[in-house]
Chain A
Amino acid sequence: MRSIIDYLKEIILGVWSLLKGMKVTGSYFFRPGTIITQKYPNNRKDLVMFDRFKGEVVMPHNEKNEHKCTGCGICEINCPNGSIEIISKSILTEDGKKKRAIDKHIYRLSMCTFCALCVKTCPSNALAFSQEFEHAVFNRALLIKTLNKPGSQLMKGVE
């Protein structure tokens, strides 16, 4: 007799535990405010990323097409996987001295692991992260980027 009661009790408690779980899932039908789904490609226009988000490395230029990169190569040394390559040239300054300047700052997005060492160690704060995160392209070569814009120059006062 005892065993039958225990058996029935087990069944009832088992069903009760299942109903308890279903109550949780069912209650979300009546709480639509808790749904957090983002309809991503449709909400592109008003999608704001956090300002520290590490999307890709960029070199900010001002309105006169000037940047702060002196071509010292510290970011190239600090990059753990060789995504940065700096090609420098020597130019003549106004007082006739030879000076090292940047020709091309090549950044390979496909190799970058976003460790932020280049941005952090740059002595003149020439690099920054942009919030751009849609990097898909059809050709792999498009992921090799030149960060300094054509015709750009070193900002005055930056050594």
Chain B
Amino acid sequence: MEEKVKNITTDEQQEYVINMGPQHPSTHGVLRLVVSLKGEIVKSVQPHIGYIHRGIEKMCESITYPQIIHLTDRMDYLSAHINNEAVCLTVEKALEVEIPDRIKVIRTIMSELTRIQSHQLWWASFGMDLGGLTCFFYGLRDREKILDIFEETCGSRMIVSYNCPGGLMYDIHPNFQKRVKEFIKYFRKILPEYDQLLSGNVIFHERSKGIGKLTLEDAVSYGITGPSGRASGFSCDVRKHEPYSAYDKIKFKEILFTEGDTYHRYIARIDEMWESMNIIEQLIDNIPEGPYAVKMKPVIKLPEGEYYQRVETARGELGVFIISDGNKSPYRVKFRSPNFVNLSVLNHIAKGFKIADLVAIGGSLDLVIPDIDR
């Protein structure tokens, strides 16, 4: 025992291990990071996860397909609608159901609204992590407008449960188009304010430029998707490469940077908000007429086999893999969640930077803990 103590002091002489979390404001949830430090320099970061593991994949095996929707809401709660869409698309793919254009267009608009509100909240909390509390208020103020649109059409604000296999739960509210147009008009005026407040700020530049560099090679080998991967030059936008819903009918550009530092991960998300607004503007005026849901059987049974569908959430690529044995509930469900994969790179890019930079790097990866734990 005595010898052991001696070894630690000689081998890791000046290393100091601290716990960041599980209750730490910058981890945005219950994530525990065991950080070993030499002075102020981070030597390694070990994430400990599973504090809010609910076993969603296992729970899916005992419930029917329409019931899975309400669980996927609770994985990545900031892109709840896109998670729902992923499951619905997988089920529809398995049943080979033809989905009318109206449903596709509404789903796309809703997904992009979800993406904007997720990035708004990310911007708000990222600013707060780096010491700008004003960002938090401004970000949440603008997010409120989207949440009101959701509340009017879907009935709830964050955990929307608006999709169901075969279409949507209800038709859009008569005010929906008017409100979305109002929001776009408003947000086009407000978004430059974000730039003045944070993007151009000299303190923010000092804390983010050149911090946490991720090269293209590492991004590909770690599988970093979403805005974090695209900031390193990894062209991984599922909307572009494997279009689903109405993404094949619209024009938009994939935001790509090559630098891969914290600053460019930030800029990638700001640019994505502009791009999302472009997508919504192309669709909002010409929502086709038609039914809002396809008539499905009361008990949905998938034919025996394996089905996979991937979508682009606000944080990266979400894959849904369903194995069916022909019953009303799936044999196995696996979610390839973007946050779990993005977390794995934290140790690699935070090494050698200061502990205050770890907060900036963690914030720029935009982690949502319930999606990591599932």
Q: A residues near B, CB below 8 A?
A: 13-15, 17-18, 20-21, 23-25, 36, 50, 52-54, 78, 80, 113-117, 120-121, 129
6 A–B contacts from the bound complex (CB under 8 Å): A13-B202, A21-B197, A21-B200, A54-B155, A114-B155, A116-B161
Cα A120 to Cα B161 with chains together (Å) = 12
Asked, given contacts A36-B144, A113-B70, whether A20 binds B200 with beta carbons under 8 Å apart, the answer is yes
Q: What does DSSP make chain B's interface, helix, strand, loop or mixed?
A: helix
Q: How far is the CB of A22 from chain B (nearest CB, A)?
A: 9
Q: How far is the CB of A158 from chain B (nearest CB, A)?
A: 19
Cα A110 to Cα B161 with chains together (Å) = 18
Cβ-defined contact, A80 with B67, below 8 A: yes
Cβ-defined contact, A52 with B134, below 8 A: no
Q: B residues near A, CB below 8 A?
A: 63, 66-67, 69-71, 134, 141, 144, 151-156, 159, 161, 164, 169-170, 173, 193, 196-198, 200-203, 298
Cβ-defined contact, A36 with B70, below 8 A: no
| B63 CB contact (under 8 Å) in A20, A53, A80 | A80
Q: How far is the CB of B263 from chain A (nearest CB, A)?
A: 14
Cβ-defined contact, B151 with A114, below 8 A: no
Asked, given contacts A13-B202, A52-B152, whether A25 binds B134 with beta carbons under 8 Å apart, the answer is yes
Enumerate chain B residues within 8 angstroms of A114, measured Cβ to Cβ.
Answer: 155-156, 159, 161
| B170 CB contact (under 8 Å) in A14, A52, A113 | A52
Enumerate chain B residues within 8 angstroms of A50, measured Cβ to Cβ.
Answer: 151-152, 155, 173
Cβ-defined contact, B70 with A80, below 8 A: yes
Q: How far is the CB of A32 from chain B (nearest CB, A)?
A: 14
Cβ-defined contact, B202 with A115, below 8 A: no
Asked, given contacts A17-B200, A25-B197, whether A54 binds B156 with beta carbons under 8 Å apart, the answer is yes
Q: Closest residue to B135 on the A side, CB-wise?
A: A21
Cβ-defined contact, B202 with A23, below 8 A: no
Cβ-defined contact, B155 with A20, below 8 A: no
Enumerate chain A residues within 8 angstroms of B196, measured Cβ to Cβ.
Answer: 20-21, 23-24
Cβ-defined contact, B151 with A115, below 8 A: no
Q: How far is the CB of B152 from chain A (nearest CB, A)?
A: 5
Cβ-defined contact, B161 with A115, below 8 A: yes
Asked, given contacts A113-B70, A115-B70, whether A52 binds B154 with beta carbons under 8 Å apart, the answer is yes
Question: Which interface residue of A14, A80, A114 has the most chain B CB atoms within 10 A?
Answer: A80
Cα A10 to Cα B203 with chains together (Å) = 12
Besides A80-B71, A117-B66, 19 other CB < 8 A contacts? Answer: A13-B202, A14-B202, A17-B200, A20-B196, A21-B196, A21-B201, A23-B196, A25-B197, A36-B144, A50-B152, A52-B152, A52-B153, A52-B170, A113-B159, A115-B69, A115-B70, A116-B169, A117-B67, A120-B164
Enumerate chain A residues within 8 angstroms of B202, measured Cβ to Cβ.
Answer: 13-15, 17-18
Q: How far is the CB of A7 from chain B (nearest CB, A)?
A: 14
Asked, given contacts A116-B161, A116-B169, whether A78 binds B66 with beta carbons under 8 Å apart, the answer is yes
